[in-house]
Chain A
């Protein structure tokens, strides 16, 4: 059984079609790169998996079931924005994740925070945007989830910290789990991808094994993306 399955799924915002007849499956144990230009439908796909948007037609199944409480127990989601209550301290946030996610590993979160020199007693509202994003990523990666969905995980982080963040992602995700990474910064993440999905104007235009692209097409994913979406 596939971990996530889109069946003829479309999503419209009024007259604008954000996703058109998407048919795609995400398997267990793979790292997916969901890549496309701005407004291509990447975030819409991610939000539908997370039950934050409802499809206009078609179906989405997670472990064979519609999104709901059960799917939220196994998906760890990092949105492209800061979704934390700014009045909270980091320690309160840890408690929040501990309270609501059975798979949250408090020890791991504390270790990662210490590694990044983030103080548990600090209030989120006093942190820089980049630090807030790091805290958010730590919370998400400290879960032993089956699927991690990361929407622009390195978008707001300085280039020097990107490798560190990617390392955090790779060394902390649950063994056997899948990751869907959505980003514009392809060159930074392409080395970690198993499968590459290109999406443009709501349509999936490529769904290919990353090694096949590298070996058969003799190009990098970044180059292929630039050719595919040349203005």
Chain B
């Protein structure tokens, strides 16, 4: 059943997001064309300015819009009228939420890829070129590989944690009559629980690990071993929160569903 749910979740997100991605690609193409034109015909400098501004806005807005749409789709599909259908199909609540989590996460990754693609189409050779990419790769070459992997993982896990945390907030908020307001309130509560919880879980490491103490005293920022340990621990804690919020959302929809 999960594969069937995924099919419909991807379809729903695609219908909302692909047109926006398409328009952004066109915008990138126009940016490229106007950038070339303005070199030869200065009269294009004004439209070029407008298009470049719209292009920059698109770069910023695409991941944000993707994030907003994934949350909106979750809310409309499970808490609003569509919930009457989704909660009466014979599938488990865990599949419903897992499907939403997977489709949203993949679309968020796609949105980052889209931004990179837009940059290459629109401003490669203008804002950056082969040389800047080589420099970037060189800089990354100096950085510890494990650290790099942990950093990338931290970004992905961080996005996933936010996603599942918001799902759990909505699942808690739907119990009440004013579902939107309560979802926002629970969102703030869970955000603070995550922050405070993470610090508490890290405390033993910070207080009792002698290496960490030494690190703080000497401020040796090149000690990647210790930083990686710290990042690894924070990753484990984030994963624990993801699991906890996922099961919280499943439980709320399973035992406390309130489609009043």
Binding site for B on A (CB under 8 A): 13-14, 47, 50-54, 69-70, 72-73, 75, 77, 79, 81-85, 87, 96, 99-101
Contacts and interface: CB of A to CB of B under 8 A. Distances in A.
Interface in B209-260: 255-260
Interface stretch (B47-55, B77-85, B193-201): B77-85
Nearest to B77: A85
A100 B4 contact: yes
Contacts of B257: 51-54
A101 B12 contact: no
Nearest to B11: A92
Contacts of A85: 12, 77, 82
Contact of B84 (A52, A54, A87): A52
Chain B's interface size range is 20 to 34
Given A13-B260, A53-B259, A87-B12, A101 B82 contact: no
A40 B84 CA distance: 21
Contact of B91 (A75, A81, A100): A100
B90 A87 contact: no
25 contacts: A13-B260, A14-B177, A51-B87, A51-B257, A52-B83, A52-B87, A52-B257, A52-B259, A53-B257, A54-B255, A54-B257, A54-B258, A73-B90, A77-B88, A81-B84, A82-B81, A83-B81, A83-B84, A84-B85, A85-B77, A85-B82, A87-B12, A96-B8, A100-B90, A101-B89
Contacts of B4: 99-100
A51 B88 contact: yes
B138 interface: no
Given A52-B87, A69-B90, A100-B91, A87 B259 contact: no
A101 B84 contact: no
A57 B177 CA distance: 20
Nearest to B256: A54
A47 B83 CA distance: 12
Interface in B170-185: 177
Contacts of B40: none
A81 B259 CA distance: 12
A182 to B, nearest CB: 14
B92 interface: yes
B71 to A, nearest CB: 17
Interface centre among B8, B12, B88 (most CB of A within 10 A): B88
A69 B7 CA distance: 20
Contacts of A83: 81-85
Contacts of A75: 88
Contact of A69 (B82, B92, B255, B256): B92
Nearest to A99: B4
A85 B85 CA distance: 9
Given A82-B81, A87-B12, 5 more contacts: A52-B87, A52-B259, A70-B90, A83-B85, A100-B1
A54 B251 CA distance: 13
B131 interface: no
Interface string B71-106: 000000100011111011111100000000000000
A12 to B, nearest CB: 12
Q: Which 3 A-B pairs have the closest CB atoms?
A: A83-B84, A72-B90, A52-B259
Contacts of A87: 12, 15
Given A13-B260, A47-B259, A87-B15, A72 B82 contact: no
Contacts of A70: 90
